[in-house]
Chains A and B, each alone.
Chain A
Amino acid sequence: MDGRRILLEFVLLIFLPFVFAILVPFAYKYIKGIHTGWFVLLVPLVLFGYYLSFIPLTMDGGHAISEIKWIPTLGIAFTSYIDGLSLLFTLLITGIGSLVVLYSIFYMDKKKENLGSFYVYLLLFMTAMLGVVQSDNTMTLYLFWELTSISSFLLIGYWYTRDKSRFGALKSMMITVFGGLMMLGGFILLSIMGETFSIRELIAQAPDLVSHPYFTSALILILLGAFTKSAQFPFYIWLPDAMEAPTPVSAYLHSATMVKAGIYLVARFTPIFGTSSTWIWLVTGIGLLTLFWGSFFAVKQTDLKAILAFSTVSQLGLIMSLLGAGAISYHTTEAMFAFATYAAIFHLINHATFKGGLFMIAGIIDHETGTRDIRKLGGLMSIMPLSFTVALIGSLSMAGLPPFNGFLSKEMFLESMVALRHFELFQFDTWGILFPIVAWVASVFTFTYSLYFVLKTFLGQGKVDQLPKRPHEAPIGMLVAPMILASLVIIIFFIPNVLGKWVIKPAVMAVQPTLYGSPADIDIHVLAWHGFGSVGLWLTVAIVIVGSLLYLTIPKWQPLYKLQPAKLSLNEGYDALMRGSEKGMNRLSRAYMTGLIRTYLLYMFAFLSVTVIAVLFIKDAFVVDMNSFAAITLYGALNAVILLLSIGFVVFAKSRLAAIIALGGVGYSVALFFVIFKAPDLALTQLVIETVSVALFLLAFKHLPALNEHGETKKTKVVNLIISLSVGVMVTLVALSSHSQKLIPSISQYYKDTVATEAGGGNIVNVILVDYRGFDTLFEIAVLAIAGIAVLGMIRLRVSRKETTDENK
C-alpha cells in the first residue's frame, strides 16, 4: 500500500454487489411498497463515492494493492490492483451503474416485471465487471470475465418468453465464451512464459517475453478474447442481437461497460505486447475496419437500438485503433503517438457518457410511444422537448461537433490517424495513407447516422396518431439519468483538462508505464480551439459538409445496401456455422453409432487386433524360440485334429442339436488336452462342467428357435471372417512370443518347494486354490452364487403382461 493507510481490505468491496444480490430477493418479496431498485441504488453510489477517494493517489502515479489468497499452492489470488486505468474503469462502472439503476427504477414496472431476478443479475454483473478491471491475477481475471458473459447472457434473455431474446442471449454467449476460452489459453501461455499469474510481474519481465516462442500465440489468443468481448469485426454480430435486453441493460452493459472490457484488456496488456508489430497492425487495423463497417451499416438500420448498437461497434473500433496507434510510441519519440493513447481513453469516457444517454433516450421513446421503429417515428420534438434536447446533445457529441466532448476526442483521433501516415516502420509508409482516409470516411458516416438517429425521430411530420401509444413527455425520474449524462457531455467539453489531470493522465501512465515517470510528465493539454492551422479542424469541417449532404440524400443512396446479398452477411455465416456443426455432428454420430451390437463388436475386435499386432512388430517383440518348445506328441496331434473338426462342426452346423454336440466335443477334447498336458484337476473339472453345460444348452435351446442365418449377405460374412482371422492371428502371435521370451522366472518353484512343509498338502494346484490364493476361490464361489441367484430371479420375476406389451411398443 503506497502512500496511504486503508482500514479495509478493499478487494472485498468487489464482492459488495455480489453479497447484496443475495439480499435482493428478500427485499423484493417482503417489501412490496417500495421499488426494489431504490435499495440496489445504494450499492453503486457507495462504491462510486469510495473509489473517488483513490483519485489523489493515482494522480501522483501511485497505486494500491489488496489481496486475498484463494488457492495459494497454485498462486491464484483475488488481487485488487488500482492504478489510473483500473480506477477509470471502476468509476465508469459504479458511476454509470448508479445512473442506470436510477433509470431502471422508472423504466422497469414494479408490478409487471420480475424485479428480483433483474437486480440480482445486474448486481452480479457489477461484481464481475469490478473484478475484471481490478484483478491483477490473470486466473481470477478470467473468472470474472466469464461471470460477465454469464450475467450478460441472463440479462439479454431477461424476457425469456420471447424467442428473439433467447436467440440473442445464446448468440452473445457463444461468441463471448469462445473468446473467453481463447483468452484463457493466452493467459496460460503467458504464465508458462513468465512463471507467474500476476500481470504486474509479467509487465516487469516484458522485454524478456518478446523473444519467447509462445509470444505471438499468446498475443493472438488474448486479442481474440478482447475482440469478441468488445464486438470487433467480425465478432460484432452478437451486439445488435443483444438489443433484445431491457434498455437499462443495453445502456449499461452494451454501451458503457462490458463491451469495454476488451478495450481494458488491450490497454492493460499493451506494456507486454505493444512492442510487437503484429499487435500494432492487428489492433489498429481491426479497429479501423470495425469503425468503418459499424458506421456504414448503422445508416441501414431502422430500429433505434440497432442504430445505437452499430454505432457502439463503430466507436469501439475507433478506441481500439487509437490504442493500437498509441503502442507505436514504443518505437518512436514522436509525441503524436502518446497523444493517441490519451485520445483513446478520452474517447472511452466520452463515449460512455453520450452513448449511455442516447440508449436511455431510445428506451424512453420506446416506453412512451410503444415503438422503436424509426420509420414510424417523427415529429416528437414538441411533445418530448426534454428528451429531444438530451438526444440532440448526445447525437451531436457522437457526430463530433462542438461544443460537446465528442468533438475534442474525435479531433484528436483524426490528428492521430493523420500522423500515422508519416510513420515509417513495419511498411506503414506505403499503406499508411489508408489510415486517415478510412478514419475520415467512417467519421462522415458517423455524422450521417447521428443526424439520422435524432432528426428522423424528433423532426419531420408527426405521425403521432398512428403510434401504438399516445406519446407524452417521460416522467422526470426517468429523465434525470440521461440529463446528468448530457450535462457531463457539455461540462467535459469546457473543462477537459481537469478530467485529463485527474483521470486520463494516470490511465495513460498505466498503459505506457515505461515511458513516463509520473502522470505530470505527459505533456498534453487539450484545447477546443487550435487555430485555423489545425488539420483536425478542417477535416471536421469537411465531415460536416459531406455528412450533411449524405444525410439529405439518404433515400437516393440507401438502395446501395441491397447490393449486399443476404447469403453473404456475417449473421448468415454464423447461422450456417451453428446449423452446420449441429448437422455435421449428428451425421457423424449417426454414421458410426448404428445401434447394432455387431458394429460395435467389429470396432472393438478390429482395433484390438490391429493395435496388438502393430505393437508386436513395431516394438520388435515377435520372437519364436523353437528350442524352448516341447516335442509334438502323437496323442497331442491326434487330439488337435479332433478339436479342429469339432470346431468346424460348431461353425458350420445347420441344426441346433449338431452344434451343441459339436460344442460338447470341443469341451471334451479340451479336457483330453488337460490330460495330455498333465493337469488332472483341470481335466476332471472340465469334464464335469462340460457335461453340465451341454445339458444346460439342450435345456435352453429347446425354447429357442432354430439356427437362422437371418439373411446375412456374403459381404458381411467376408468382413466377419477377416476380422475374426485377424484376432486369431493376434492370439497365436501373442501366445508364441510370450512363451518364447520369459523375462522373469516363474514363481511356481516356491509353491513346489513349500507345498508340503508350509501348507501340508500334496496336490499343488489344490493347495494354491485354497491356501496360497484362497481369495480367488472365495470370490469365484461368490460369482457362482450370484449367477445362480440371477438365473433364479430371471426365471421367477416376470414383468406383467401389460407392461411387456407397453415395452414392445
Chain B
Amino acid sequence: MELLMAIVAGILFTAAIYLILSRSLIKVILGTGLLSHGAHLFILTMGGLGGSAPPVLLDGVTEFVDPLPQALILTAIVISFGVTAFILVLAYRTYAVHKTDDLNSMKGNDEHD
C-alpha cells in the first residue's frame, strides 16, 4: 500500500508543479491546492499505513494507527485552507486591478530594478 501511496503522492506533486509553472494565475492556484493534498498524503505515507484501528481508545483494542502524523496533518489542513482563502482573494484583487491573469505580463518595470 505504501508503494502505491508514494506513487500517488508523486503524481500529485507532478501535476501540482506542472500547473504552478504555467502562465495562468488560475492554474497556479489550482496547483497549490493539489500540492497541499500531495503533502498531506506524503506525511501520512511516511508515517506508515499499517495498524488495525483508528487512534481512539476503545475496550479491547491495542493496535492503533500512529496518531502523531494525523495531528500534524490536521494542523496542516487548516493552515493550507487559510492560505488558500487568502491567495484566492489576492488573485481576485490582482485581476481586478491589472485586468490580466497572465503571469508573464506581471513583471516589474526595468526602471524599478
Taking the closest CB of chain A, its distance from the CB of B81, in whole angstroms, is 5
CB neighbours of B2 from chain A (8 A): 628-630, 735-736, 739
Cα-based distance from A697 to B45 in the complex (angstroms): 28
Cα-based distance from A397 to B66 in the complex (angstroms): 95
Known: A765-B71, A768-B67. A791 touches B86 (CB 8 A): yes
Known: A735-B9, A764-B64, A787-B83. A670 touches B14 (CB 8 A): no
CB neighbours of B41 from chain A (8 A): 670, 673
Cα-based distance from A674 to B77 in the complex (angstroms): 12
Q: Is A602 an interface residue (CB 8 A)?
A: yes
Cα-based distance from A598 to B17 in the complex (angstroms): 11
Contact at B37–A666, with CB atoms within 8 Å? yes
CB neighbours of A735 from chain B (8 A): 2, 5-6, 9-10, 42, 45-46
The proximity string for B residues 56-100 relative to A, scoring 1 for CB distances below 8 Å and 0 otherwise, is: 111000001111101101110111011111101111110111100
The answer, among B21, B46, B52, B57, for a CB contact under 8 Å with A723, is B21
Contact at B44–A701, with CB atoms within 8 Å? no
Cα-based distance from A679 to B49 in the complex (angstroms): 11
Taking the closest CB of chain B, its distance from the CB of A777, in whole angstroms, is 7
Q: Is A747 an interface residue (CB 8 A)?
A: yes
The answer, among A633, A643, A647, A677, for a CB contact under 8 Å with B65, is A677
Contact at B4–A637, with CB atoms within 8 Å? yes
Interface size of B by Cβ–Cβ distance < 8 Å? 87
Q: Is A685 an interface residue (CB 8 A)?
A: yes
Interface centre among B45, B48, B49, B53 (most CB of A within 10 A): B49
Known: A640-B4, A643-B8, A709-B24. A791 touches B42 (CB 8 A): no
Known: A724-B15, A804-B97. A696 touches B103 (CB 8 A): no
Q: Is A721 an interface residue (CB 8 A)?
A: yes
CB neighbours of A705 from chain B (8 A): 26, 95, 101
Interface residues of A in 592-610 (CB under 8 A from B): 593-598, 601-602, 605
The answer, among A593, A712, A720, A769, for a CB contact under 8 Å with B71, is A769
CB neighbours of B67 from chain A (8 A): 748, 751-752, 764-765, 768
Which of A465-473, A494-502, A554-562, A726-734 forms contacts with chain B?
A: A726-734
CB neighbours of B8 from chain A (8 A): 640, 643-644
CB neighbours of A773 from chain B (8 A): 71
Interface residues of A in 699-742 (CB under 8 A from B): 700-701, 703-705, 707-710, 712, 720-721, 723-725, 727-729, 731-732, 735-736, 738-739
Q: Is A571 an interface residue (CB 8 A)?
A: no
Contact at A681–B92, with CB atoms within 8 Å? no
CB neighbours of B44 from chain A (8 A): 673-674, 677, 679
CB neighbours of B4 from chain A (8 A): 632, 636-637, 640
Interface centre among A680, A710, A723 (most CB of B within 10 A): A710
CB neighbours of B33 from chain A (8 A): 663, 666-667, 693
Cα-based distance from A21 to B49 in the complex (angstroms): 77
Contact at B89–A720, with CB atoms within 8 Å? no
Cα-based distance from A746 to B68 in the complex (angstroms): 9
Known: A678-B53, A784-B82, A787-B82. A647 touches B15 (CB 8 A): yes
Cα-based distance from A128 to B44 in the complex (angstroms): 66
The answer, among B34, B74, B95, for a CB contact under 8 Å with A647, is B34
CB neighbours of B27 from chain A (8 A): 707
Contact at B84–A696, with CB atoms within 8 Å? yes
Interface residues of A in 741-771 (CB under 8 A from B): 746-748, 751-752, 755-756, 761-765, 768-769
Q: Is A582 an interface residue (CB 8 A)?
A: no
Known: A712-B23, A727-B14, A765-B55. A732 touches B98 (CB 8 A): no
Interface centre among B49, B71, B96, B97 (most CB of A within 10 A): B71
Chain B residues in contact with chain A, CB under 8 A? 1-27, 30, 33-34, 37-38, 40-42, 44-58, 64-68, 70-71, 73-75, 77-79, 81-86, 88-93, 95-98, 101-104, 106-108, 113
Can you offer 21 A-B residue contacts whose CB atoms are under 8 A? A630-B50, A644-B8, A647-B11, A651-B18, A679-B70, A680-B54, A680-B56, A689-B81, A700-B88, A704-B25, A725-B14, A736-B2, A739-B6, A761-B57, A764-B55, A765-B67, A783-B83, A784-B79, A787-B83, A795-B89, A795-B93
Listed from nearest, the 5 A-B pairs whose CB atoms lie closest are A728-B14, A732-B10, A787-B82, A724-B17, A595-B107
